[in-house]
Chain A
């Protein structure tokens, strides 16, 4: 038996893996503070992909995109990649090569991938799919508190609260075991959809506020206004622990309940009741999820939620707080260790001279050789094949052809690359476009650490060796780096060696991992970062002071503005996207698990029965949904409590069922987060032989 953690989301449920009668691993949930012995169906079925016939086990190469792949040996594949990369860099400079990483990669891989980009490739062109997840919350958290750790408190603290507000989060669907922590508090769910979480909130005496998509920022300002109107602000806390309340209030002052109702569609009495429920609770938390963050104003929207939490005196106190619910398995660690365009390991900025000097010393290179900040994910993908953009890309753990906004456009850009190298364990839609596909090991086949949604570092353990012919990501990075002339010892293939280097590289940094060791992790110690080599872990941040130099949290003055596009007679509805229980992200993994694929085999579009009837649609019929960017098809699913102006589509499906064919690449000015959650669309019946 091996005890490890689930390959999917940031809850990182603990599980026991036992070899079954035929040698294949089976799953049992394990007791752990985050999942408390629970698992969702994705976790239960997670080992199925280890022995899937769809598994890649040989490197694949084609010298011409129109040809089929040929199986080759590793040396042939790696030599080909190194030779092409060397030639491109000589011709066009180091920024001609891009790296695209993932919040699914372990801390060790995230770290080594960033180091590989900066040292072996010398490129500034590195970013990752976490830009599509966590960047708005991270930017807002940093500017408010001076530091971003998704939940700056242990998840289990939530169970002691009286009220938890969930803004744009649907954990009952996306991370069910988390709901175990939310059964005692009353919930205030903010979601345009009558989601599974909203239903549970109402069932347990909580509330559901359903704003028009794109108006969460107005609602958050309106709740702050209402709390002030009720005389429920924590003025002592505001005076002693924060700065900037006056200017933040000035903006919120224009969001009196009736005006907020006008902008959001949430009834004014509900706004006031929610403000009262939250403000009067003994112990309250405000949590944000992608629904409120994935907007072209996502950072300001999260700031508005944090302002509300600060005005009520929640953050930095035991038993209350603000947190964001990180989505991807290592969405937290993945944003700390340097695979982000503007970052160096330890959550330090790449344009910070001190951090550069420090990292250059640890890495044994001259500071001036480190590239500066590069473009963010959406901009990086958009520049592929441009004169000044990258002409080669190395892709690990991501499937942007399905997960990026305006997916058709992204596919076109990726097709213009001279060289696309994808490391994956299945033939994802992005891998299918590649010149070289490198088959890599899966979660249960290697060691490594992950940092979960509460900032706790966890150890994944190998339960089975990888299939013959498969290499780990660290081995792939090492093999490419050495072929590009790097010393072997600079890119270790042993995860524990890399972890030790992360400790050195992050000593004294905001995300200090220097006290994280395999021994401490194996002992079961709860290592929430920062954990200095000499010190204890930090389960709860900010109890004494916030991470700004003056020790205070900052209100950030933010204001509402309309979404990047609104409805028109041609596109009269708003589409919003999200996840369903049975699938994970781009679906590259879960669509290949038979039980999950059976449960949700195809894309669906959820809408009000009237919206369907008006557009000539009935339950189960195939609909075509069209935005200014493109169109997709999905099966109609009626929901009598849906908003009349909103349709919902899961984004787990590819090609002509890809919800991201619709989505808007308009970016947040601060976080560079695309506007996944609001697109103006129309719906109509879809007539196609394949579906009839």
Chain B
């Protein structure tokens, strides 16, 4: 029974490629079904890109955010080597060191790279960033950002999306004077509405970050700063470009695999070529979900189910992404439709003074969309209701405010004789009866009624009753 196992080759050792290796290792711990080769262009082991903004602040070291790397003998890592071509007819890839790798199934997890907007002075014609300019996409960028930004020095962040705002918060924490420039009418344009964005911008202003929305950058002048289209110049020793990403699709398109913004995949995460799959930021699924790590990880799990044969019926049916801003002291969650149409009911709370904003849209009892700024408890509940498509409670305002539903008068017990000792089911009346029978201390009450002998949390109440009664005449207590 020495059947040769199937060979899976993964191109890309980033968050999703590495997670795919983990998911395969969990399903096939002894390599009885597949062996795995992971090709990574970077020399460094895989790391958690989501936490790079924490490396900027110093909350994490580079070592801290390394990803687990399964070390089974049937998993081979080829790092520091880039894949150059795919030949789907011979089922092999060519690496930049001239070697070839044959595969049974190929998994593209090539991710995405920072997109540099066509602004004068930002990048050389070959795409190399100009002096003082950096993206924030990988560890090298992160080191560059740390080198370029010093406490007290001005920095410009170009792009007011999630990554830009997280970077701005981190840089402010390091003591930099930060300006954020966003070409859309408001920051986080894709995830939140304008009133929320206004309150969010105010929160950033309060921590010393100025936000310039609906402003187009005209020119980067090294040593000076960023010129805007209204003629102003924002001082900046450094320009951090967080203005979107572009999927790495060249390998696939050169091999004749169908590509739009990303490599097109179906619910089995298969590309137009049946032996080639794509997951993570390089993939484009009809259900969306690019740009966040959670959908990529869900894709990795589903594809591992399929390719190890653990669950041949596994499908990825699109994401229900939840955006969570990681910015110290600012709690923002956004999910689903930002502006649900009239078929949804929407609850809105706006509290600019308190720096809080909540908007919850519900359609057919399910969460259609939400923006929650400064409502952390409600945010986690609503995100789970959205994620699991669970029906929302009838009291939507209570849900948004994150407090339990008030007790319905039909369920609340009318306590004419309240329970004092829950452990032993002793009521106030029972304790009173023991007192009338002569029990005057906590100990004698306990002997007579068992009250206070369980968890002990009613000792205070019993003592209070006793001292109250001892100051009263017996006639008063009956």
Using a CB–CB distance below 8 Å, which chain A residues touch chain B?
A: 28-29, 37-41, 44, 171-172, 176-180, 183, 196, 200, 212, 228-229, 247, 249-251, 253-254, 256, 258-259, 261-262, 265-270, 557, 559, 561, 567, 572, 581, 599, 608-610, 613-614, 618-619, 638, 640-641, 644-645
Report B287 CB to chain A, min CB distance, Å: 18
B450 close to A640 (CB less than 8 A): no
**A269 and B376 in contact, given A183-B456, A644-B390 (Cβ under 8 angstroms):** yes
**A258 and B326 in contact, given A270-B376, A610-B405 (Cβ under 8 angstroms):** yes
Nearest opposing residue in chain B for A250, CB measure: B68
A581 close to B380 (CB less than 8 A): no
B387 close to A262 (CB less than 8 A): yes
**A262 and B322 in contact, given A41-B450, A196-B422, A619-B410 (Cβ under 8 angstroms):** yes
B67 close to A254 (CB less than 8 A): yes
Q: Is B224 an interface residue (CB 8 A)?
A: no
Q: Is B453 an interface residue (CB 8 A)?
A: yes
A183 close to B390 (CB less than 8 A): no
A599 close to B383 (CB less than 8 A): no
- Set of chain B residues within 8 Å of A44, measured between Cβ atoms: 424, 450, 453
Q: Is B140 an interface residue (CB 8 A)?
A: no
Q: In the docked arrangement, what's the CA distance between A581 and B452, Å?
A: 15
Which of B59, B408, B457 has the most chain A CB within a 10 Å cutoff? B457
Q: Is B223 an interface residue (CB 8 A)?
A: no
A256 close to B326 (CB less than 8 A): yes
B423 close to A40 (CB less than 8 A): yes
The contact sample of 23 A-B pairs, CB cut-off 8 A, is A41-B454, A44-B424, A172-B457, A177-B455, A229-B59, A251-B68, A256-B48, A258-B324, A262-B294, A262-B322, A262-B387, A268-B324, A270-B377, A581-B422, A581-B454, A609-B411, A610-B395, A613-B394, A618-B410, A640-B404, A640-B406, A640-B411, A644-B393
Q: In the docked arrangement, what's the CA distance between A41 and B450, Å?
A: 8
- Set of chain B residues within 8 Å of A268, measured between Cβ atoms: 324, 331, 376, 380
Q: Is B7 an interface residue (CB 8 A)?
A: no
Q: Is B407 an interface residue (CB 8 A)?
A: yes
Report B431 CB to chain A, min CB distance, Å: 16
Nearest opposing residue in chain A for B422, CB measure: A196
A-B contact count (CB 8 A): 149
Q: In the docked arrangement, what's the CA distance between A251 and B326, Å?
A: 20
Tier of interface size on chain B: 35 or more
**A645 and B384 in contact, given A29-B453, A177-B453, A183-B456 (Cβ under 8 angstroms):** yes
- Set of chain B residues within 8 Å of A261, measured between Cβ atoms: 324, 380, 383
Q: In the docked arrangement, what's the CA distance between A547 and B423, Å?
A: 39
Q: A250-B69, A640-B407, A644-B385 are in contact. List 14 more A-B contacts (CB 8 A).
A: A39-B454, A176-B454, A177-B455, A180-B455, A180-B456, A200-B457, A249-B64, A258-B326, A266-B380, A609-B405, A610-B391, A618-B410, A638-B408, A644-B390
Report B49 CB to chain A, min CB distance, Å: 12
Q: Is B388 an interface residue (CB 8 A)?
A: yes
B376 close to A41 (CB less than 8 A): no
**A610 and B393 in contact, given A40-B423, A179-B456, A640-B406 (Cβ under 8 angstroms):** yes
B383 close to A38 (CB less than 8 A): no
Query: CB within 8 A of A256: which of B50, B379, B390?
Result: B50
Q: In the docked arrangement, what's the CA distance between A251 and B59, Å?
A: 17
B454 close to A40 (CB less than 8 A): yes
A41 close to B424 (CB less than 8 A): yes
A179 close to B51 (CB less than 8 A): no
Which of B293, B410, B453 has the most chain A CB within a 10 Å cutoff? B453
Q: Is B6 an interface residue (CB 8 A)?
A: no
Q: In the docked arrangement, what's the CA distance between A229 and B59, Å?
A: 6
Q: B225-242 toward A: CB 8 Å interface, digit per residue (1/0)?
A: 000000000000000000
B67 close to A638 (CB less than 8 A): no
Cβ-closest 8 pairs across A and B: A179-B455, A176-B454, A176-B455, A258-B324, A610-B393, A250-B68, A267-B380, A176-B423
B455 close to A172 (CB less than 8 A): yes
Query: CB within 8 A of B64: which of A39, A183, A251, A253?
Result: A253
Which of A254, A256, A644 has the most chain B CB within a 10 Å cutoff? A254
Q: Is B26 an interface residue (CB 8 A)?
A: yes
B68 close to A557 (CB less than 8 A): yes
- Set of chain B residues within 8 Å of A618, measured between Cβ atoms: 410
A267 close to B379 (CB less than 8 A): yes
Q: In the docked arrangement, what's the CA distance between A466 and B406, Å?
A: 53
- Set of chain B residues within 8 Å of A645, measured between Cβ atoms: 384, 388, 390
Q: Is B381 an interface residue (CB 8 A)?
A: yes
- Set of chain B residues within 8 Å of A29, measured between Cβ atoms: 453
Q: In the docked arrangement, what's the CA distance between A580 and B422, Å?
A: 12
Report A668 CB to chain B, min CB distance, Å: 15
Report A651 CB to chain B, min CB distance, Å: 20
Q: B419-457 toward A: CB 8 Å interface, digit per residue (1/0)?
A: 000111100000000000000000000010010111111
- Set of chain A residues within 8 Å of B144, measured between Cβ atoms: none
A247 close to B68 (CB less than 8 A): yes
Q: In the docked arrangement, what's the CA distance between A559 and B21, Å?
A: 14
- Set of chain A residues within 8 Å of B326, measured between Cβ atoms: 256, 258
- Set of chain B residues within 8 Å of A270, measured between Cβ atoms: 376-377
Which of B381, B404, B405, B411 has the most chain A CB within a 10 Å cutoff? B411
- Set of chain A residues within 8 Å of B404, measured between Cβ atoms: 640-641
- Set of chain A residues within 8 Å of B60, measured between Cβ atoms: 229
Nearest opposing residue in chain B for A573, CB measure: B390
Q: Is B258 an interface residue (CB 8 A)?
A: no
Nearest opposing residue in chain A for B45, CB measure: A250
A254 close to B68 (CB less than 8 A): yes
A200 close to B324 (CB less than 8 A): no
Q: In the docked arrangement, what's the CA distance between A555 and B22, Å?
A: 19
- Set of chain B residues within 8 Å of A37, measured between Cβ atoms: 453
A253 close to B376 (CB less than 8 A): no
Q: Is B114 an interface residue (CB 8 A)?
A: no
B59 close to A254 (CB less than 8 A): no
- Set of chain B residues within 8 Å of A183, measured between Cβ atoms: 456-457
Q: B60-76 toward A: CB 8 Å interface, digit per residue (1/0)?
A: 10001111110000000
Query: CB within 8 A of A250: which of B67, B447, B456?
Result: B67
A614 close to B391 (CB less than 8 A): yes
Nearest opposing residue in chain B for A265, CB measure: B384
A608 close to B393 (CB less than 8 A): yes
- Set of chain B residues within 8 Å of A40, measured between Cβ atoms: 423-424, 453-454
Nearest opposing residue in chain B for A595, CB measure: B425
Query: CB within 8 A of A39: which of B68, B385, B406, B453?
Result: B453
Q: In the docked arrangement, what's the CA distance between A125 and B423, Å?
A: 40
Nearest opposing residue in chain A for B294, CB measure: A262
Report B350 CB to chain A, min CB distance, Å: 21
Q: In the docked arrangement, what's the CA distance between A180 and B293, Å?
A: 46
B48 close to A253 (CB less than 8 A): yes
